[in-house]
Structure 1
Amino acid sequence: MTSEMTARMLRLLSLLQTRREWSGADLADRLSVTVRTVRRDIDRLRELGYPVDSARGHAGGYRLAPGTDLPPLLLDDDEAVAIAVALRTAAGGLTGIEETALRALAKLEQVLPRRLRGQVTALQTALSGITWETRGPRADPALLATLAVACRDHEILTLDYTTRVGTTTRRRVEPHHLVASGDLWYLLAHDTDKDDWRIFRLDRISHPTPTGRRVPPRELPGTDPAAFVANRLSAAPTRYRAIATVQAPADHVRARTRGLATRIQPLDETTCRVDASADHLPHIAQILIGLEADYALDADPDVLNHLRNTAHRTLRATG
């Protein structure tokens, strides 16, 4: 096999790994060869043991099918560095993935070129992380993977979803994006029955079932996925209401809190309003403590009682 052919086949394999399905014409265009050459290269990949499926017809679609073993992944320098750093810092908000991430990292670093090892080490030494015991719900990696594939392939899913009041219904959705906020993960999807965009917490999703039907991607109205989810979450009803008028600029508060997004509204150059409403009283207390500024609070009686009791315990503990 000539060096030119080898390079072309490696490029072909890399393309097959980036998308679920390619037409012969698209591959030929990307590789600057004829469709006939693509067919020959596909046959050579099959001879080497790569499970490449093809669809009959004029378009001649190809895809890298699941096999008995995971085929080698081809990564460029930036992808390799990103994966290595992500594996080293893995597992925030995910259950049971720490040991698996370390095994994968060991395999990757064993074959990293020396020039990339230096980049990974530099990035890692420049970053620090604090691991807290997670009290809230954690996402299932298998569920996360299923939803990620559905988002990538624009494939309709059916799933069971349990609402905040405990009722469970079967939903049919077009997955669009996964969004992480703190320790929680959300699926942004278009609900086909309600004909509207919906946000689903991953810890409340069960029995996701791919339908095999792929649809053209819908255009999200007006903004990017993270901002869309933040806006919807800030407008969603919560169990406890807590609104703080803070004696600090909005930018100052935003820099010292996370996950509040549009829930911080400037009133003037020196004050802002923060919507700290939530379903859990300790979460509200955590938000208010993180403000690091004086504030006036308009809140439900249950919120005020919880804050008073917390303050009294703190005072007793400090004598």
Structure 2
Amino acid sequence: MISKGGEKYQIKGCAGQGGFAQVFKAYVNSNPDDVVALKIQKPPFPWEFYMYRQLDMRIPEKERKSFGFAHRLHLYSDYSVLVSDYLAHGTLQDAINSNVVIGGSMEEVLCIYYTIEMLQILETLHDAAIIHGDFKPDNLLIRYSRDDPTENENEIHQRTGPWHDQGLCLVDWGRGIDLSLFPRNTKFMGDCRTSGFRCIEMQENKPWTFQVDIYGLCVIVHMMLHNSYMEIEKRASPDGTYIYQPKSHYKRYWNVDLWKTLFAKLLNVDPAEDHKKLLRSLRESFQGYMCSDPKLIKKLKQLLVKQKHPYVQLSPSVSFRITVYRL
């Protein structure tokens, strides 16, 4: 039990650990219905709390649940404690790993759903002039609605009803960049040094902005489809320029055109182009395909319910739960 700012937090276990911080699950004033995440960081790091407050001000209310909430920050000379929402259903990395451990891969319809979610997240975030800077599956928490999702085409397309409370939540804003603090059209140099997530501009020592997040999205999509990090190849095009594409091949029963278009567009974004329109166009193409077939929506609903309740029934009296360990 620790006391901070008039509140008592009952620590219930470690929920995550990084190089500079630990995240703990805690009950507020011993109330199991009031659960928070405590991020304890050394040295103190107030920047993440600042980023959460910018999200509060800039993200539209309809999309706010996709970006996490921080309630308060306790700042000391040698450490800080960030109090934020606790989501109990794991990360997108956990969902990917759950297929790896049984020798399978994520169902394509589920890959499509999470791709739509990520495209929506980046479209909204970048429209608010914010770069996340560390867009990877460990930082995407899975959200489930209290009620099971419906098979209503309009609800899934408009993200209303239970679908509004379902999806992904982007957290860990320590590398976030607030573009409003810089002159217009500022570009950045530097390398995130996160293996597998270094965008093309970082690999080629070129300036970057939103590409760091867009490349992260491509890597995550590749991980969902192939259970591996993305390797890219650079090919000369007829007009004398170069195009980038993944080395991996596509399974013939996938919607190959959909995936090829996504990678071709996002790995070769024209810096002069409004990439937010591109994100929106891709999202709408994925949504259009999803909503074109009621069988896909039905299958998606079944997979999400199964993922939310990962129990395997052996008999009326025996069941076991698959425990997933992060790779």
Instruction: Give the TM-score band, short-chain normalised.
Output: under 0.3
Higher RCO by CA contacts (8 Å cutoff, separation 6 or greater): 2
Q: Give me the TM-score of the superposition, normalised by structure 2.
A: 0.26
Q: Give me the TM-score of the superposition, normalised by structure 1.
A: 0.26
Give the structure with higher Rg (CA).
1
